[in-house]
Amino acid sequence: MSSPEPAGPEAHRPSPFTAAPGGDLRSVDDHLREVLAAVDPLTPYEQPLLDAAGLPLVHGVHAPIDLPRFTNSAMDGYAVRHEDVLDARQDRPTHLPVVGESAAGQSGPFGMPPGTSMRIMTGAAVPAGADSVVPVEWTDAGAATVRIYRSPTLGQHVRLIGEDVAAGDELLVAGTLLGPREIGLLAGVGIGRVRTRPRPRVVVLSTGNELREPGQSLGFDSVYDANSYLLAAAVRAAGAIPYRVGIVGDDPRTFADTLSDQLVRADLVVTSGGVSKGAYDVVKDVLSQLGTVRFVEVAMQPGKPQGIGRIGEDRTPIVTLPGNPVSAYVSFEVFVVPALRRMMGKMPERRPLVQALLQGSLTSAPGRRQFLRGRFTIEEDGAHVQAAGGAGSHLLGGLAQANALIVVPEDTTAVADGQSVAVLVLDREW
């Protein structure tokens, strides 16, 4: 492994795509391309509206009906003909007979002769012959006859058929992410099912003889399995379905058996640990022999050792992440989130970075893309970010302080206070 060179503007900067000794680091972008190439968009199917929340539409949707579907009242009051109430004034009210009532869900294709009025409730159909609604507050609320003290303008408080949405309009274009507003619109035009790609089923397992399940007692050198929980939660946050298998020891046979048992329910397998260069690196040992999974070193920090490929009869994609919790999480955000987005048809596959002003300064090893933990805030003068937690990839405490990753490019070795940096804001669409 290369040791970082001293940072500074005059420091020698190797090309980001070639490594210092070893020479075989691959770029983050190249590796991401390979990960994306290993997964396919899942086959779409019709699902109930609420199940589709957070997923993109496969096809554009056209309105099957007008909205409003019938001309109706925006107020409780009296439906009138505008010309019958032109002269209504506080000191000289207009008197009209009340010939009926129209209430929401209890109105019909009523008509109303000239010179009359009809009591009407919000959302009820405006009777034929009426063109305006007088709010009840402008009247004496009379039952048989009503006194009207103020004249509405023509069409006031009337919601016209089709003024919001016209039947046949393209309501939502293909690719639209279904959020609350889109779901509300679809329900509002009577569409109860939509075609989306399914949420990927992701089998998550962590490897390591030292690992223990939270709640169990620890031996002298054992650690709790943080990764399978962290990654399963991250799978869910990305909109996919996690199957957390939990801990597998560093035994090749057990690992191989567990994996093949799990394949039936997986659209993607994500493992953590066992991919470095030590003894007992079970993931690498077992999967290297298959010849369908490639282990590489990526020019990033943290997250250098990565593996990608396909396994089993169905050629299920598998991503093998490093074991240090911060490395596993950063790699997940950088490689697995785009893969899941691709499987669900979310565009863009890579979530966009945003620019923020750095508070404090930072240095970064040359030739690697750094993903530093940061705290992102939006203040009156715009977006800011400052480094949070330390640089070590074992620092779970620091990771939980962060809400963003500061992305320092391969050829940048220092960023000064107040300079603009690219940030991946975590737990958000952007």
Q: Which residues sit at the interface with ligand AMP, rule CB under 6 A?
A: 206, 208, 210-211, 223, 225-228, 272-276, 278, 322-325
- Name the nearest CA neighbour of 116 among 138, 92, 86, 84: 84
CA 308-311-314 angle, to 5 degrees, is: 125
To the nearest whole angstrom, how small is the minimum distance from the Cβ of residue 332 to ligand AMP? 12
Nearer to ligand AMP, 111 or 278 (CB): 278
> Which letter, b or e, does each residue of 231-252 get, where b requires 16 or more Cβ atoms within 10 Å of its Cβ?
bbebbeebbbebebbebbebee
208 binds Mg ion (CB under 5 A): yes
The single-letter DSSP state of residue 332 is I
Q: Please identify, using beta-carbon distances, which residue of 132 and 320 lies nearer to ligand AMP.
A: 320
Q: Is 380 exposed, middle or buried (0-12, 13-18, 19+ CB in 10 A)?
A: exposed
Asked if 322 interacts with Mg ion (CB under 5 A), we say no
Q: Least CB distance from residue 250 to ligand AMP, whole Å? A: 8
- Is residue 32 within 8 A of residue 338, CB to CB? The reply is yes
Place of tokens 């939502």: 172
Please report which helix (H) or strand (E) contains residue 235, including its range: helix 227-237
In the complex with Mg ion, the residue whose CB is nearer, 73 or 272, is 272
Residue 364 partner contact from Mg ion, ligand AMP, none using kind-dependent CB cut-offs of 5 to 8 Å? none
Minimum gap (Å) between residue 373 Cβ and Mg ion: 22
226 binds, among Mg ion, ligand AMP, none (CB under 5 to 8 A by kind): ligand AMP
Spatial neighbors of 230 by CB under 8 A, at least 6 apart, are 325, 328, 329
3-class state of residue 46 by DSSP: strand
Nearer to ligand AMP, 52 or 399 (CB): 399
Q: Which stretch binds Mg ion (CB under 5 A): 19-27, 291-299, 317-325, 390-398?
A: 317-325
Closer Cβ to Mg ion, 319 or 405, answer by number: 319
The interface partner of residue 77, options being ligand AMP, Mg ion, none and the CB cut-off 5 to 8 Å by kind, is none
Q: What's the rounded Cα separation, in Å, for the pair 97 and 78? A: 11
Q: Which does 206 bind (CB under 5 to 8 A by kind): Mg ion, ligand AMP, none?
A: ligand AMP
Establish if 325 lies at the interface with Mg ion (CB under 5 A).
Answer: no
Instruction: Please say which residue, 226 or 423, places its beta carbon nearer to ligand AMP.
Output: 226
E strands in 126-169: 132-135, 145-148, 158-159
Query: Which 19-78 residues touch Mg ion, going by CB under 5 A?
Result: none
Q: Which is nearer to ligand AMP, 117 or 206 (CB)?
A: 206
Please state, in angstroms and rounded to a whole number, the distance separating the CA atoms of residues 185 and 183.
5
Cβ atoms of 375 and 402 closer than 8 Å:
yes
Partner that binds at residue 225, options Mg ion, ligand AMP, none, CB closer than 5 to 8 Å by kind: ligand AMP
Nearer to ligand AMP, 151 or 306 (CB): 306
Q: Which residue is nearest to ligand AMP (CB)?
A: 323
Distant-in-sequence, close-in-space partners of 341: CB < 8 Å, separation ≥ 6:
238, 347, 348, 349, 350, 351
CA distance 279 to 274: 9
> What is the smallest separation between the CB atom of 295 and ligand AMP, expressed in angstroms?
12
Which range, of 152-160, 189-197, 265-273, 406-414, touches Mg ion by CB under 5 A? 265-273
Q: At its nearest, how many Å lie between ligand AMP and the CB of residue 396?
A: 8
Token couple for 103: 């209430």
CB of 271 to Mg ion, least distance (A): 10
Nearer to ligand AMP, 196 or 272 (CB): 272
What residues pair up with 92 in beta bridges, in sequence order?
89
Which burial class, exposed, middle or buried, applies to 218 when counting CB atoms under 10 A from its CB (0-12, 13-18, 19+)?
exposed
Q: Least separation, in Å, of the C-beta of 303 and ligand AMP?
A: 11
Contact pick of 273, 322, 366, 367 for Mg ion (by CB under 5 A): 273
Contact set with Mg ion (CB under 5 A): 208, 273-274, 323
